[in-house]
Amino acid sequence: MAFEKGKSGNPGGRKKEKPFADALRVELAAVSDQDSRGLRAIARKVIKRAEAGDLAAASFIADRLDGKPAVAIENGEDGPFETVSRIELVAAAFPDGGVSE
């Protein structure tokens, strides 16, 4: 069934509910009093782990401060980006009657 031109296949869009993120916000609000001492304590712990050599903690800090690094994707021989206009799934029949994808 094809979609009508100009009409979304998902008119409601992505779900707005994010229960885990909502639960984290509630718990962070409970940890953090009005001067944010609780959140600062959490930040100090992440920094201490990074200083101790925890690469995941260091990456976490860098991602929050600088943003995640861009990732180049190469999909062609003539240059880093080629437009993909068609993708096919081909099944080959073997002499013994088997099929391979």
Predicted confidence (pLDDT) per residue in 37-55, tens digit: 777 888 899 999 999 999 9
pLDDT at 67: 83
pLDDT above 70 as % of the chain: 64
Note the pLDDT of residue 47. 94
Is residue 94 over pLDDT 70?
Answer: no
CB 48 within 8 A of CB 60: no
Q: Phi and psi at residue 69, in whole multiples of 5°?
A: -70, 150
String of b and e for 60-86 (b: at least 16 CB within 10 Å)? eeeeeeeeeeeeeeeeeeeeeeeeeee
- Domain-wise residue ranges, the chain: 20-100
Interval 28-40: pLDDT, tens: 777 766 667 777 8
